[in-house]
Structure 1
Amino acid sequence: MADHLCVLIHGLWGNPSHLFYLASSLRDKYSEEKLHILLSKTNSDTFTYDGIDLGAERVTQEIETYIDDLEKSGSQIKKLSIIGYSLGGLVARYTIGLLYSKGWFEKIIPVNFTTFATPHLGVKTPLLGVKHTVFNFLGSRTLSESGRQLFTIDTFRDTNRPILSVLADPRSIFMRALSQFSHRVLYANIINDRSAPYYTTSISTTDPFTNLDAVSINYLPDYAPTIIDPADPVHLKPPEIQRPFFARLASSSQSLLASVPVFALFSVLIPMGSVLFLINSGVQQVRSQKRIRLHEEGKAGIGLGRYRIPLMVENARSAVEDAFENINARQGQQYLPETELNANRETKLSGGQQQNGHAEKTQRSAPRISWDLERTSSPRSEFPTLALTAQQFEMVQALDEMGFRKYRVHIHDIRHTHAAIIVRSQKPRFDEGKTVVRHWLDEEFEV
């Protein structure tokens, strides 16, 4: 009888069918005598609007019920793996914190934690100026609570910080839970992921893949040309063998078009489907807020006290798949000016350095984690540092120190790489994603 449970969590606007290929590939490799598979379904479709925390509470209840049912039938779970796709990876990170806090990891061994195309740093676009402000303002207000959390404009409970910052706090139950897993792995698309760009899915302060003609990419021999070698992923080509001048000029023209203000994109370039999407978003936000209110009142089928637990170990206290993706895809990336970058290299956001003699103050205030651009600007320092927020830099450092094996994915034949990376539907154009799944099962998934 299998003693290992693997939970699969879908993404925004998702449902269990999006993960059928992952589930069927797991089942082809491991029989029911080796592995139980739970396709989470309690956050299907527009229920993903309701926030990472509410979604995780639903998933946690789902896992606990599933384990209880297995035990009643004589099957005891001793090992646990959790796999998250897109927003589901963030829900997974919250879920494991709840399980950890409730003592499950004292009874069950955490084995595999994997994310596919998950926006670990949120989806706030690394842009400067008006375009940055307008785009992030609009984007954060079309997805109800999940949108606020993904764009890091929320204030999570009594922490005075966004939920993504709390998820990456080294003192939190979420990071403590993550540290328990034997395998922590992520897969990130390097291009054409219109929902979750490379920098956030790979937890990186740089993006070396904005101009593929200017870099040499090294692939893993058995998985070329899809899985990039994590030990030596990419380096700049010498200037003399980069693209000719006119090719670069054409690319620059495309970049100029991409810099058209967002309001112009809405009025000129975005099809009528965007208007319908925005109307639907308004309707769904009203419904989502009603569900959240019922949940807070304890009337949504989940006992509120079951999962409202201290968040800190110490102190004891599709993005849219169509219209929104098209808008997001037109947003380029900008970089910190050299003057600001040099200043930041000399500045540490203090945390542990000032704890001595200030314990009382530290308990009352949110922690600040030091970061160093030279440490976090991976994979190579010759690529410029993106204009991320201070909180995003903090997240990068904390998650990198936790340790993820990062696999960059190069899908060539389709522009919808966010769906292709997990073969979200059985379409021939998604076949490159099968190489990703094969690598994960053969190289990283342990039973």
Structure 2
Amino acid sequence: MATSLDIAHKQAAAALPGRVNLLGLTREELGQALAEFGLPKREIRMRTGQLWNAIYNRGQTDFAEMTTLSKELRAKLGAAFTVARPEIVTEQKSVDGTRKWLLRLASDKPGMPGPEVEAVYIPEEGRGTLCISSQVGCTLTCTFCHTGTQKLVRNLTAGEIVGQLLVARDALGDWPGSGRNSDDRLVTNIVMMGMGEPLYNFDNVRDALDIVSDGEGLSLSKRRITLSTSGVVPMIERAGNEIGSMLAISLHGVTDEVRDKLVPLNKKYPIAELLEACRNYPGVSNARRITFEYVMLKGVNDSLADAKELVRLLSGIPAKINLIPFNPWPGSPYECSDWATIEKFADVVNRAGYASPVRTPRGRDIMAACGQLKSETVKARASERFKTPADAPAQTL
């Protein structure tokens, strides 16, 4: 039985010709796919639940393994659908245990290789954090960020976003039956801090994170999911209402003059507007603080006056401040602040009552640290890669 489900806006070309990739479909869309496939209406809810459990709870990639379904149905589903993940092109492991995967996505041009993104796993004591990308490249051109030197190729689909977590769990053996206690996960936290601006790919990010937090599948609490934005002010309230994850703001400067240079988006949404949106973020409280990310750049934003102004700006916002030593990349125009300067800066922030951890650089030796991600794909103009206007990044806010 063939399916005619129209989900072109949800995913790139199917991983295999003629087969629809089910990764990233919402429960409703998965049910619709099964209905158009020809399953009786009375079976849709049950079969949707069985597939959801197999794909997201057990990590199964072959319909033949899904033994809760009949052998005949498994064969038919396998002919019509796939649950293919992004392809691992390279895997690197840092001396500190950090792992980075270069992942190739499905191509939307026959005969051409698909674009590539990077995902990073950071193991820590008692937790493991996976840094996920939302776009191939980026439009924001933040001057301290390596990804910002790569032009936007396209948005990731919901399936490609979720697929990064599935790839990591595959590589780490982080599925039931691996011999570990079901509560002893390796990937415990997700951060949308990889390549791209998540709020310029809102619908796909929202749908992907709904799947990641679904209690009958991947089951990661929204308090363990952090979405980082460079400050797309009109989308912040919507993110709180529709995604409900923890929020992180890439701030990096305490004056519009400095932030305009570091984060050019600031020219459109200056600091005062950004912080007002943070004060109004749905659900923000001392129990759900907003994280402000602040990269330490020598002679640019690291003075004691900057530290005092940062404290003043964030007054009244339940906040945590992550101080990030700058991670260099080839051709980068900045240097990392001296360690003594970082400690003095942190002391000002801590004495003001803010939790202000200095983030330990992880994975620098494999270019996996914060701000260092950049895929090796041949760049193509975004206008040539988008199939429909609906696929283009929502940058007209």
TM over 0.5: no
Which structure has greater helix proportion?
1
Which structure has greater strand proportion?
2
Q: TM-score, normalised by structure 1?
A: 0.29
Q: TM-score, normalised by structure 2?
A: 0.31
